Chains A and B, each alone.
Chain A
Amino acid sequence: MSTPLFSVGQQVRIADRTPPVHHRVPAYAKGQVGVIERVCKLHGEPEKFIRGDGKPAQRLYRVRIPQSGLWQGYDGTAGDDLDIEIFEHWLEPTE
């Protein structure tokens, strides 16, 4: 668990699911493709934390997503983007 599954620059997809517990992936990010911006530390996984097991056992990443891919008719530049923190178990490789 301490070896990160993903590395900086790798393309990933954020899982599109809605577990019936507290989770910290906003709806707009679900199913989106981005690249790993940085590998963060291990933290308590929110879905388990809510059940009382908050030990820092899940890898966190920052994922960079182009704004033009997030919103239809986005009004900005092609370089505008959004960075979001996503836990490892929410990420899937795109290939």
Chain B
Amino acid sequence: MTDHDKEHDHARTFQPDHPEPTSDAARVGLALRELLIEAGHYSAEEEQEVIAAMQGASPENGGRIVARAWTDAAYKERLLGDGASAIRELGFELEPYEFTVMENTNSVHNVIVCTLCSCYPRALLGMSPAWYKSKEYRSRVVREPRSVLAEFGVELSDDIDVRVHDSTAELRYMILPQRPAGTDDWSEEKLAALITRDSLVGTQRKLSI
């Protein structure tokens, strides 16, 4: 065994998880990750764990949370009061972000955007859709939310106010959609299956049963 082998620390060896980069920006990003890992700021295993956790996250997690809130009034109150603690009860974690849930009502429709970049509760809901990251959505939904929502098929009458949440700092948002009529005797599991990604972002209002 050579000295080199003895010193070899697998945790500090960068091996790409992704295809070869095709743009200069991607090459710079890859080089930076390689340097951070070599310098020991975090390990390659830690990076893989984070990627795996994000890939395992999906809107289904949001569906579980919403279904619990629909069927348990005390849970719903805790969820709206302190989202981070309430989702921890179900085994979800979004630290260091302040997870925050906004409730749709008969008189208010909520919609989420990040005008500065594309902040999204990825560790909970998975990767955000391409439109959420598009410049068009980010610039227009703050200025003309009703037009943008109409393009998503959400037609709002004048007795419903629109509330836009611009995710500019350390909070991460999810919408609590309204429970559809005719689901009173549904199980939590069956309810959870109704919830869509877009209803959690606010670009869908009515859930179809």
Contact surface of A with B, Cβ cutoff 8 Å: 24-26, 28-29, 40-41, 43-44, 46, 56, 60, 62, 67, 70-71, 74-77, 79-87
Neighbouring A residues of B161 by C-beta, 8 Å:
77, 79-81
Neighbouring B residues of A84 by C-beta, 8 Å:
165-166, 168
Neighbouring B residues of A60 by C-beta, 8 Å:
98, 169-171
Neighbouring A residues of B143 by C-beta, 8 Å:
28, 70-71, 74
Contact of B171 among A40, A46, A70, A74 (CB under 8 A): A40
**B164 and chain A: residue at smallest CB distance:** A82
Neighbouring B residues of A40 by C-beta, 8 Å:
98, 170-171
Complex contact A83–B147 (CB within 8 A): no
13 cross-chain CB contacts under 8 A = A24-B169, A26-B115, A28-B115, A60-B171, A67-B162, A76-B145, A80-B163, A81-B163, A83-B163, A83-B165, A83-B166, A84-B166, A85-B171
Please report which residues of chain B, range 93-116, place their CB below 8 angstroms from some CB of chain A when the two chains form the complex: 96, 98, 115-116
A67 CA to B162 CA, complexed, in Å: 9
Neighbouring A residues of B17 by C-beta, 8 Å:
none
Contact surface of B with A, Cβ cutoff 8 Å: 96, 98, 115-116, 142-147, 158, 161-171
A77 CA to B170 CA, complexed, in Å: 29
Give the distance to chain A from B14, nearest Cβ to Cβ, in Å. 23
Neighbouring A residues of B145 by C-beta, 8 Å:
67, 76, 80
Closest 5 CB pairs of A and B: A79-B161, A85-B169, A43-B170, A84-B166, A82-B164
Complex contact B168–A26 (CB within 8 A): yes
Complex contact B166–A85 (CB within 8 A): yes
Neighbouring A residues of B116 by C-beta, 8 Å:
24, 26
Contact of B142 among A28, A79, A85, A87 (CB under 8 A): A28
Contact of A75 among B115, B146, B165, B167 (CB under 8 A): B146
**A82 and chain B: residue at smallest CB distance:** B164
A82 CA to B115 CA, complexed, in Å: 12
Give the distance to chain B from A17, nearest Cβ to Cβ, in Å. 16
**B113 and chain A: residue at smallest CB distance:** A82
Give the distance to chain B from A75, nearest Cβ to Cβ, in Å. 6
Give the distance to chain A from B108, nearest Cβ to Cβ, in Å. 8
Give the distance to chain A from B86, nearest Cβ to Cβ, in Å. 16
Give the distance to chain A from B117, nearest Cβ to Cβ, in Å. 9
Give the distance to chain B from A47, nearest Cβ to Cβ, in Å. 12
**B102 and chain A: residue at smallest CB distance:** A83
Give the distance to chain A from B206, nearest Cβ to Cβ, in Å. 19
Give the distance to chain B from A55, nearest Cβ to Cβ, in Å. 12
Complex contact A24–B168 (CB within 8 A): yes
**B161 and chain A: residue at smallest CB distance:** A79
A1 CA to B158 CA, complexed, in Å: 42
A32 CA to B202 CA, complexed, in Å: 25
